[in-house]
């Protein structure tokens, strides 16, 4: 049978025509959607593909000492950034080679950045050298999404380290990032210790943005709209410190061969003049990228240079704590200045003898402070009682946080009846437990910062100021300087009682037989108290607290030397030197003609504010 091949052809043509019309209709509909309905969204996506937002980190705020001298500066640093959505994975090995960064580490950083935002530039290596920058520039056509930016890092222009006071910055952790404000991004440096941490929100400034046009290879071809959409970065605020930079450097030199701390304060307002913890570290090694081996070495160093002994330690204060008991006894009327006891070199209580270093004979409260007579205070503790001793200890701020702005601190330990009941069991401890507390031994524990505040309160007549290192915050954009408020409390001692205690402290330094004679300052009458605290793990700790000048105190100080022996022989001389350096601006003891004691330093702070 013969078939007609033309049969059904019109039907096929009809079907084909319908298909073509439908396809053309779909195409026209899509064109209509793109041109009229979705053009705003598509224009935005097109712009995103051709526009890159470059983050501009602000210059971090500076720090100045109390005389307006630059104490913490900033310098340039370069960081390599990467936009995860634009980076091509096949270039991972090349980028790893250019940056001299392990590919697994690099991959993890890119993944972390992608999790936060695939379209924002994230730092993948900071503080790179010029050789690396040149290599990045050379490979930019291939390394899409990769760029670099100029940042700032800390520079320390003075001889002072002040590492435990200033603190340092490290890259923000995932945990910090999860609770941080919208400001923070992966790779950001944030303060993690000291003033850098406490004043992070003031120092960091406000991030800016520069919009630039890029080509298909991600290369920058120009500014967008002549910078009209750019947001200028705002510099961080400056901190004007109470710290005397010269004293800080000098105090650090005094403490070079010791483990311990030296804290000096202005008794008139609680401003910290020097804050030394030894051993310490060079803060400049933390300002850029700290090599892993160096960081590991710092952490594993048996001398613990990262540990802040000035405010995080808890030492027995030894005889420096005797003025607390004296204050309680005098203020509560338990004794007066005429009350005397006879010291034969020991005090028997029950079947135990509590010893003294010397036989002092008949002494009153002033002489007991002057000669550091343990026997006098052993007996006095039993008269005053646990509760009043604890109450007056708290009045001076012991067992409580100082709320300092310098960073982490310990509250120390001021034992109470409730503490002893928990520790030993109710009814299972006796009055004999209290005798060691009388001379700053037993469970009582303090930090050098707390002791400096205590010395300042004795110097100024009973005001317990909040220790602080920042006096003012300067906003360079508005050209305003705002004082940082700092609270205070009162010990609430009568002037008569305070006068008796201060007289004893003056005799410690100035009178024959006083235990602190090695803290004397040429041309200046000062006051203080030595302490030698027993240490179950080695040699005794040496303490000295004091202030000067006696009639118009400008500096109060606490010195603690671990495992160094007697406070009068070891700690007192360092305190005397430090106070002399502050009061005169130099050491004068070997000079033929002493210079004048410098005027009140509050004027110099006011001058610094005007700069």
DSSP string, 165-183: HH--EEEPPHHHHHHS-TT
Estimate to the nearest angstrom the gap between the alpha carbon of 295 and the chain centroid: 18
What DSSP state is assigned to residue 594? P
Classified as helix, coil or strand, 569 is helix
The whole-angstrom separation of Cα 369 and Cα 116 is: 63
Q: Is 75 helix (H, G, I), strand (E, B) or coil?
A: strand
Angle in degrees, 0-180, between the axes of helices 386-395 and 322-331, rounded to the nearest 10 = 110
First to last CA, the chain: 112
Picking from 520, 532, 577, 491, the residue whose alpha carbon sits closest to that of residue 274 is 577
Contact 450, 397 (CB under 8 A): yes
Q: Which residue in the list 277, 319, 526, 601 is annotated as catalytic?
A: 319
Helix (H, G, I), strand (E, B) or coil at 539: coil
Count of CA atoms in the C-beta half-sphere (13 A) of 166: 29
Cα 576 to chain centroid, rounded: 27
Retrieve residue 33's tokens. Answer: 């959607």
DSSP 499-531: HHHHHHHHHHHHSTT-TTGGG-BTTB--EEEEE
Q: Helices 322-331 & 495-510, crossing angle to 10 degrees?
A: 150
**Distances in whole angstroms, Cα of residue 402 to Cα of each of 194, 398, 459, 488:** 15, 9, 18, 10
CA distances from 394 to 386, 423, 491, 494, 531 (A): 12, 20, 9, 17, 20
Contact 249, 266 (CB under 8 A): no
DSSP string over 266-305:
-TTT-BEEEEEEES---GGGGTSPPPHHHHHHHHH-TT-T
319 is catalytic: yes
Q: Which residues contact 391 (CB under 8 A, 6 or more apart)?
A: 328
DSSP letters, 378-436, are HHHHHHH-HHHHHHHHHHTTTTS----SSS-----B---HHHHHHHH-TTS--THHHHG
List the catalytic residues: 319
């Amino acid at each position: 049978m013969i078939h007609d091949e033309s049969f059904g052809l019109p039907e096929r043509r009809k079907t084909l025509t319908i298909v073509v019309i439908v396809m053309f209709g779909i195409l026209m509909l899509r064109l209509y959607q793109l041109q009229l309905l979705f053009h705003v969204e598509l224009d935005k996506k097109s712009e995103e593909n051709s526009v890159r937002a470059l983050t501009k980190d602000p210059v971090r705020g500076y720090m100045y000492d109390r005389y307006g001298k630059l104490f913490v500066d900033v310098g340039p640093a370069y960081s390599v950034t990467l936009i995860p959505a634009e980076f091509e994975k096949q270039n991972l090995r090349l980028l790893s080679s250019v940056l001299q960064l392990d590919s697994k580490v690099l991959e993890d950083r890119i993944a972390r950045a992608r999790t936060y935002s695939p379209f924002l530039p994230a730092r993948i290596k900071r503080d790179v050298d010029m050789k690396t920058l040149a290599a990045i520039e050379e490979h930019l056509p291939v390394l899409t999404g990769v760029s670099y930016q100029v940042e700032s890092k800390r520079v320390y222009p003075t001889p002072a380290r002040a590492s435990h006071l200033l603190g340092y910055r490290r890259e923000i952790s995932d945990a910090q990032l999860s609770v941080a404000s919208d400001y923070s991004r992966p790779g950001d440096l944030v303060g993690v210790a000291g003033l850098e941490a406490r004043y992070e929100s003031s120092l960091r400034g406000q991030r800016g943005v520069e919009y630039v046009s890029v080509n298909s290879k991600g290369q920058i071809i120009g500014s967008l709209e002549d910078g009209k959409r750019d947001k200028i970065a705002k510099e961080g605020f400056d901190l004007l410190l109470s710290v005397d930079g010269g004293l800080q450097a000098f105090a650090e030199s005094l403490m070079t061969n010791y483990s311990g701390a030296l804290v000096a304060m202005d008794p008139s307002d609680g401003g910290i003049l020097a804050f030394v913890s030894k051993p310490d570290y060079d803060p400049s090694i933390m300002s850029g990228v700290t090599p892993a081996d160096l960081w590991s070495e710092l952490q594993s160093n048996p001398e613990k240079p990262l540990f802040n002994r000035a405010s995080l330690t808890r030492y027995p204060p030894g005889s420096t704590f005797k003025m607390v008991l004296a204050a309680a006894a005098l203020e509560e009327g338990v004794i007066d200045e005429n009350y005397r006891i006879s010291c034969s070199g020991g005090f028997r209580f029950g079947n135990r003898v509590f010893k003294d270093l010397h036989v002092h004979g008949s002494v009153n409260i002033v002489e007991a402070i002057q000669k550091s007579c343990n026997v006098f205070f052993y007996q006095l503790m039993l008269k005053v009682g646990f509760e009043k001793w604890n109450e007056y200890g708290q009045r001076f701020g012991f067992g409580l946080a100082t709320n300092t702005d310098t960073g982490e601190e310990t509250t120390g330990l001021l034992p109470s009846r409730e503490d002893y009941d928990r520790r030993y069991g109710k009814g299972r401890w006796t009055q004999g437990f209290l005798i060691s507390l009388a001379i700053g031994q037993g469970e009582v524990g303090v930090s050098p910062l707390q002791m400096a505040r205590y010395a300042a309160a004795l110097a100024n007549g009973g005001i317990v100021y909040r220790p602080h290192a920042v006096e003012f915050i300067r906003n360079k954009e508005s050209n305003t300087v705002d004082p940082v408020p700092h609270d205070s409390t009162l010990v609430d001692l009568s002037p008569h009682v305070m006068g008796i205690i201060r007289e004893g402290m003056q005799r410690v330094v100035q009178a024959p037989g006083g235990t602190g004679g090695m803290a004397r300052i040429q041309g200046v009458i000062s006051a203080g108290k030595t302490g030698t605290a027993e240490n179950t793990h080695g040699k005794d700790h040496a303490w000295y607290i004091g202030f000067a000048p006696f009639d118009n105190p400008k500096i109060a100080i606490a010195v603690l030397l671990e495992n160094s022996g007697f406070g009068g022989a070891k700690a007192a001389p360092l305190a005397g030197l430090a106070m002399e350096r502050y009061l005169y601006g130099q050491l004068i003891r070997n000079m033929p003609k002493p210079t004048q004691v410098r005027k009140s330093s509050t004027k110099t702070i006011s001058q610094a504010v005007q700069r």
